Structure 1
Amino acid sequence: MTNRAIISTPEAPAAIGPYSQAVKVGGTVWISGQIPLVPDSMELVKGDIKAQATQVFQNLQAIANAAGGSLDNAVKINISLTDLADFAAVNEVMAEFFNEPYPARACVQVAALPKAVDIEVEAILAT
């Protein structure tokens, strides 16, 4: 693929496995799942689900910016939670990062996530 670009920024956590922060093909950007890692230290955010979700959405925002867009370009968000009881709190945080019209979204409960975190979010952007 000649129009495939790998997106990488120090403003978001480095990949902790064999994947890219994001891949852009044409005007579409696929952002890998982000967990609540602080980019500078690569340490997990301490605190409740709101603190964790805030870091996750900040990471997504940084990658979206590096791809030449913003979270306003999001067309689909996939949220994985280890406890769906956190659904309302994550909605509150998400509303701080997105403007209407909101992207399509899925939210599922999963048994476990990398580094035993409570939340992971991935995004697809149309820039």
Structure 2
Amino acid sequence: MKTIIKTDKAPAPIGPYNQAVAANGLLFVSGQIPADPSTGDIVTTGITDEAKLVMENLKAILTEAGLGFDAVVKSTIFLTDMQTFAQVNEVYGSYFSADFPARETVQVAALPKGVNVEISVIALKD
């Protein structure tokens, strides 16, 4: 059985997918981009601001599922420019206190809506 997780405190999906799906004790959170949840506007004021909004969007979805970042076991970071890795890594790391999740960070040619960063996570639900 699967449970769909959705909240208006994170951006609505821009395609045929859900913000997150819980199944078999895991929560699969779709990639989040720096979109303002209330307006849908893309934040482009710099990679640090963009990364913070991505993490806040992830936080809102995790919270809706009754979880926090301590439940995250795997994450994937997509960047359009690996030169921004240090800034994104600093923001990302500030949301975890210990026992960091497994992760990969990859540079991609492009991301939806022309953003510079997208992050997805998998968390333990129980």
Give me the TM-score of the superposition, normalised by structure 2: 0.97
2:40 aligns with 42
Q: Equivalent of 1:91, from 89, 111, 114?
A: 89
- Per-residue CA distance 1:75-124 (angstroms, 9 max, x = gap): 00100000000110011101211121100100000000000100000000
SS at match of 1:78: strand
Q: 2:24 is aligned with what amino acid?
A: G
How many pairs were matched up?
A: 125
1:75 aligns with 73
SS at match of 1:111: coil
Q: RMSD of the alignment, in Å? A: 0.7
How far apart are the structure 2 equivalents of 1:99 and 1:17?
A: 33
2:98 aligns with 100
- Per-residue CA distance 1:17-57 (angstroms, 9 max, x = gap): 00000000132000000000010010011311000000000
Alignment of 1:22-61 (within 5 A): 22-61=20-59
SS at match of 2:93: helix
How far apart are the structure 2 equivalents of 1:109 and 1:69?
A: 28
- For residue 71 of structure 1, report the CA deviation from its aligned partner: 1.2
1:120 aligns with 118
SS at match of 2:48: helix
Could you list the structure 1 runs, at least 4 aligned residues long, displaced by more than 3 angstroms after superposition.
none
Q: Which runs of 5+ in 2 are unaligned?
A: none
Identity %: 46
1:5 aligns with 3
SS at match of 2:53: helix
SS at match of 1:97: coil
